[in-house]
Chain A
């Protein structure tokens, strides 16, 4: 909705500047998105008359014009190359010193030796058209010399662009806006257009010449029709065209323009039928028959459904009610007689029809939001008055007004005490009544309650809460005091949230940066993971109406997002990066609500220290972070078991993460082919954990003190040579098992493969620390355990002890 400032002033007396008005409207709930001054940049342009044209002696294409810009001043000499100048024409003149919208400043100039004192302007130079114009803008011989161009063209106007929420349907017309400002700010009264209809007494009454039958009064509770004869289709008056343009509507001809003008005034869509094209001069408002067709004004054939409301004549549909007229009854240049519809249609019905046909329009927009059923006749009268005046029409006496859905005004019972309770105010009942009355509600007191009758233009008000908002609006939102509700509860995060915060903290402590990636992804991203058919990551949920393929599916893994983050950073010459993300993944669930799983995922490249000299620093960096995580979450003995079958992982550098036999997640170096595809750094490693499962295993953090040992510890080193394919974890498990309770610490401090070890074998060095809580250990006790460990290692793994 666009509100032209000067136009609005015609209906209401106010003294606000356009900016003040915009502020008032915004604060009333009619948000003004912007103010446009239509004459922006051309306020100094005046209208001049070309009095005389002479040839330029030294240039074929130039002429010298003498231009009159007012009665007093001397004629201006202006040299121009424009091909269309004619003596006697009136044109826009930019005098010396004027700046044009494009930024050009007009200076005195000499063109091929002849002085020129200004410029005649074309429409594009004035910013009035986008395209380059062929010559000077010709204003016609009646344009007043000396007047400002903006005034003459109606461009001395400010347009306020409103972004109206659906509950402000009443403000989709100028009169509604005026009424709103009157009610909230200025008081006084709205100047409705004075309508004195001159009916043609020679004509038979309208109900003798036409008939209206409403067959679907649930969808059309009121329908009015008038007849205007002998109209002459032609251009509408200039002022009307200017106002329509200011409202953002393109002028067409007087009939269309008048219906649009009244639409903008009264917020009532009108439709003009060519009366002579209506079979049997009959209007039937009914539901369409399934499969019925109509060619609409845009010359497209539309198939209708039984849900749609049509306006039909005795034979066939002539309009899709409230949405678009039919070509068969269209007003053309040859139209002589007009049947004018002013009606109310069911908002939901209009909305469904407009959507199904893909035909949103100014009319359907308003019908969807509800027009004022009480104003149909007034709007019709106004249009008739204008058609008589500007289309030379003869008005047939009377109006057909079918109003089967007429209802008494809705009355809402309002408890003033509750109003105060809800707003935190202390207003008297009278004050509340007065405030509502200012908004044209009719008030009756009934005991402690107010009975509030809702005017027909307030379709948005259906219950007392709506009236509470009205009281707040009149009182002023910003005048309501500020308080805070007394808290009776202790606020806190729940266990899940605390757990997630802890995970977050631990990941950051491990040096991982948190990232957030899109949970909608491109299907193709999963192709890059080299998944085989049937892989579980392909069980994704697809969007029914995606914006684009890039956001076409819901992610089934955080890994693609993590990989993308690592890749885009690697491409920016970032040398090392460690990241994690916590977020949901989604799996299709056979038409049921998709499964949402909370995941923790992460990745790294450029980790520094190559702990085991296996050229896998990233793997062990991330693994270390996860081990620390599990330790701090008090989930001991989480196992990392080698896996070779995840298609996107290096088969020799990947593990699943298992606890008590349950799969928690996985970690792995990306397949070299993926690393190459994505320009990632070699060795880039990622992991993912099912956070919901991890949380199930994490006990509530509950620390318990264990007495510190008093007795000294005994350390022993042990280096064993074992087959390469034996996982160190197995050796670990065996040592721990054999050593029993005396073993307090077990660490690996070296792994060696090379010259001194035969191929296919590795040397692993452990440090064992023994300690007893009850005594100082003697060497022979430790030796006994140590020997047992050695013999078991030898037995189970054929391990040879080095340097023993």
Chain B
């Protein structure tokens, strides 16, 4: 009985079987086959009694070495197989990363809100706060306190919707100027966004209900050049720094001097196109130095205080900025429109 020969055969078989192995679970079988309690190595040990005593240490040593070797082989192959298995799993788990993601369904802000957020940020950055006022106004706040007496042609500038003899729907956000001056002491620095109402038929460029943003600054030493600088900043922030801007004399009963503000046309840049009626300019807001009569009526001494005010068509800003050609679109709330912003 040549146990050494047996060991050699075991070694050869084990090496071959282990390296050819490709399933991890078979590895355990081989471990049992070679190293188990009834395994082939153990069987060699079991037969030790039957060989020459002087051979025993030799065979014993060889068997132990082989046992160790097979253990190592098993471990090596286990690692190999585990790696292969992991790799196979990763390959199997491949996904098509070009499939669309699971998008959270966030709601959209209306474009008027997008604009006002932008404007509010600019103005709060300059120290302005946001003022509000009622949409139903009295004659006093909408007209008289703004230096628009009854029976003055300036009343023709705005077609008013009345509720009764006392109350009307504010035709502009300017009454907020008066409320603010009555409630606060200078310095005043506010913008007042809100809904306004006019007796205008609904068409592509008019709406009986629309939005304005009023601005008012009152303090000592407020100048017309401050007005210009403030408006320039907001125009540049909204329409870009390359926009040209011009101020031209105009008339609002509650400001003096009064100025209309134009920006170079956002479509043609000043060449003249249908948007700007070939003038190259777009009218974007009215402004001026607060009229002394208005200051006086609100209890401010015009010899001490001065201020400027402006009023912007909020809808118009949105139309211009986003290239919308019909104001009605803003109030139709078509989902496909809302989802463009």
Contacts and interface: CB of A to CB of B under 8 A. Distances in A.
Given A34-B277, A543-B163, A594-B167, A421 B221 contact: yes
Nearest to A551: B208
A554 B306 CA distance: 37
Contact of B225 (A481, A497, A544): A481
Interface in B61-91: none
A483 B230 CA distance: 7
Interface in A373-425: 418, 421-425
A354 to B, nearest CB: 11
A515 B109 CA distance: 8
Contacts of A517: 331, 333
B109 A504 contact: yes
Interface string A520-544: 1000000000000000000001111
Interface string B84-111: 0000000000000000000011111110
Contacts of A103: none
A484 B333 CA distance: 38
B255 to A, nearest CB: 9
A633 to B, nearest CB: 17
Given A515-B338, A594-B163, A520 B225 contact: no
Interface in B142-156: 151-154, 156
Contact of A472 (B134, B201, B257, B330): B257
Interface string B103-126: 011111110110000001001111
Contacts of B202: 551
Contacts of B169: 543, 554
A483 B335 CA distance: 43
Contacts of B303: 418
A714 B322 CA distance: 56
Contact of B256 (A347, A465, A477): A465
Contact of A578 (B107, B199, B228, B277): B107
B246 interface: yes
Nearest to A545: B162
Contacts of A167: 251
Given A468-B257, A489-B129, A348 B151 contact: yes
Given A468-B289, A478-B246, A491-B129, A424 B223 contact: yes
A513 B111 CA distance: 11
Given A477-B247, A547-B201, A466 B256 contact: yes
A480 B228 contact: yes
B225 A482 contact: yes
A159 B213 CA distance: 36
A520 B335 contact: no
B339 interface: yes
Given A28-B249, A369-B153, A546-B161, A518 B225 contact: no
A514 B233 contact: no
A586 B107 contact: no
Interface residues of B, number: 87
A58 interface: no
Interface string B154-186: 101100011110110100000000000000000
Contact of B161 (A488, A545, A569, A584): A545
Contacts of B336: 572, 574
A484 B334 contact: no
Given A480-B224, A544-B164, A596-B135, A487 B249 contact: no
A551 B230 CA distance: 37
Contacts of A421: 221, 223, 306
A508 B134 CA distance: 26
Nearest to A29: B249
B217 to A, nearest CB: 6
Given A480-B224, A596-B135, A473 B249 contact: yes
A636 B268 CA distance: 55
Interface string B50-65: 0000000000000000
B248 interface: yes
Contacts of A510: 107
A513 B108 contact: yes
Contacts of B333: 513, 515-517, 565, 568-569, 579
Contacts of B163: 541-544, 554, 594
Interface string B238-258: 000000001111110000111
B195 interface: yes
B259 interface: yes
A351 B162 contact: no
For the complex of A and B, list the 6 residue pairs with the smallest distance between their C-beta atoms, beginning with the closest. Answer: A424-B225, A487-B127, A29-B249, A165-B251, A424-B223, A469-B257
Interface of A: 26-29, 31, 34, 165-168, 347-348, 351-352, 368-369, 418, 421-425, 463-466, 468-469, 472-473, 477-478, 480-485, 487-494, 497, 504, 507-520, 541-547, 551, 554, 565, 568-569, 572, 574, 577-580, 583-584, 586, 591, 593-594, 596
Given A463-B293, A487-B127, A508-B109, 14 more contacts: A29-B249, A34-B277, A166-B156, A418-B303, A424-B223, A465-B256, A468-B289, A480-B224, A514-B109, A515-B333, A517-B333, A519-B195, A579-B333, A594-B167
29 contacts: A27-B249, A34-B277, A348-B152, A369-B153, A422-B224, A423-B257, A465-B257, A465-B292, A477-B257, A481-B228, A482-B229, A483-B228, A488-B127, A488-B187, A491-B129, A494-B130, A497-B132, A507-B107, A513-B333, A513-B338, A514-B338, A520-B197, A543-B163, A543-B169, A544-B161, A546-B161, A551-B208, A568-B333, A593-B136
